[in-house]
Structure 1
Amino acid sequence: MTSMLEVKTIRKLSPNEKIPYDLLLLADPSVAVINTYLPSAEVYVLEKQEQIIAVYVLAKNGDTVEIKNIAVNPVWQGKGIGKLLLQDASLRARISGYRRICIGTGNSSIAQLSLYQRQGFEIAAIIRNYFTLHYAEPIYENGIQCKHMILLEKLLN
């Protein structure tokens, strides 16, 4: 974990900066779908040695803010960066006055479901057949077809 000390702070991507699609595509395999939520959302990045190694996207909806995408470069996975991003998103949402933060993931995303719940998110709903209806190609993770979106939420006090 000592390498985390070298990581710069998480910052909002400025409008003139290139969108890190390479990372966003790790969490969402469709550029078309990503492009539907980027215009109304804020992109936050984490850098190490002037290279973006992680990203998350926040979209506001009423009294809730949603993490639309969260991804860590595979080289940096398993080092606590996903946890750090979730904590940063929750803190930003709380400071901005939001009462709830939510995130959706696939039924086949075992590691993500575990991480989100360990960070205080609870399963709130299941959107059946979301991924089969919104994505042209089938998605498989952990030997399981990703069909349903699991929505998780956390209350921000």
Structure 2
Amino acid sequence: MNIRRITENKKAYIDLLLLADEQEDMIDIYLERGDMFILDDDGVKAECVVTKEADGIYELKNIAVLPNCQRKGYGKKLIAFLFTYYPECKTMFVGTGDCYSSLSFYNACGFAESHRVKNFFTDHYDHPIFEDGVQLVDMVYLKRAF
């Protein structure tokens, strides 16, 4: 297994990015200013994009694992890698929908709820977003502090 930073042609991974954020123009907002990492285990299995928001403060903007590779530890390995890659990180934020599976994943990775942005998904996306059969409305921000 190999995790590496992608610095060029990030759009080559758009299909994987769209699994976690299904509207391309929303991905475009953070893709070029963020650091992209891929996890390769006999092929790309997972990816993420992280942005620096301030000194010591980062945000995990996108993390996706191929559907047939989920629940095999790839997402957790990618998140653990980020904390070694950014030793100056004091706080890592991640925004997600109010969905049990996503929230329990981030809780298992050491994140705790920070705050919510009301109507984020209904205000910023051009179509309803569903996860686990539930329409997403509010963005739930979680943080992991060190």
**Structures share a fold, TM > 0.5?**
yes
The number of residues matched between the two structures is 145
In the other structure, the counterpart of 1:24 is: 17
RMSD: 1.3
Trace 1:67-82 onto structure 2 (pairs within 5 A).
67-82=60-75
Task: Sort the Cα spacing of 1:17 and 1:29 in 2 relative to 1 into closer, same or farther, 3 A.
Answer: closer
In the other structure, the counterpart of 2:106 is: 116
CA–CA separation in structure 1 for the residues paired with 2:110 and 2:80:
10
CA–CA separation in structure 2 for the residues paired with 1:17 and 1:32:
14
In the other structure, the counterpart of 1:155 is: 145
In the other structure, the counterpart of 2:94 is: 103
In the other structure, the counterpart of 1:59 is: 51
CA–CA separation in structure 1 for the residues paired with 2:90 and 2:49:
18
Q: Which runs of 5+ in 1 are unaligned?
A: 1-7
Runs ≥4 residues deviating over 4 A: none
| Structure with bigger gyration radius | 1
Query: Identity over the aligned pairs, expressed in percent?
Result: 35
Secondary structure in structure 2 of the residue aligned to 1:91: helix
Secondary structure in structure 2 of the residue aligned to 1:111: helix
Secondary structure in structure 1 of the residue aligned to 2:62: strand
CA–CA separation in structure 2 for the residues paired with 1:44 and 1:127:
26
CA–CA separation in structure 1 for the residues paired with 2:105 and 2:20:
14
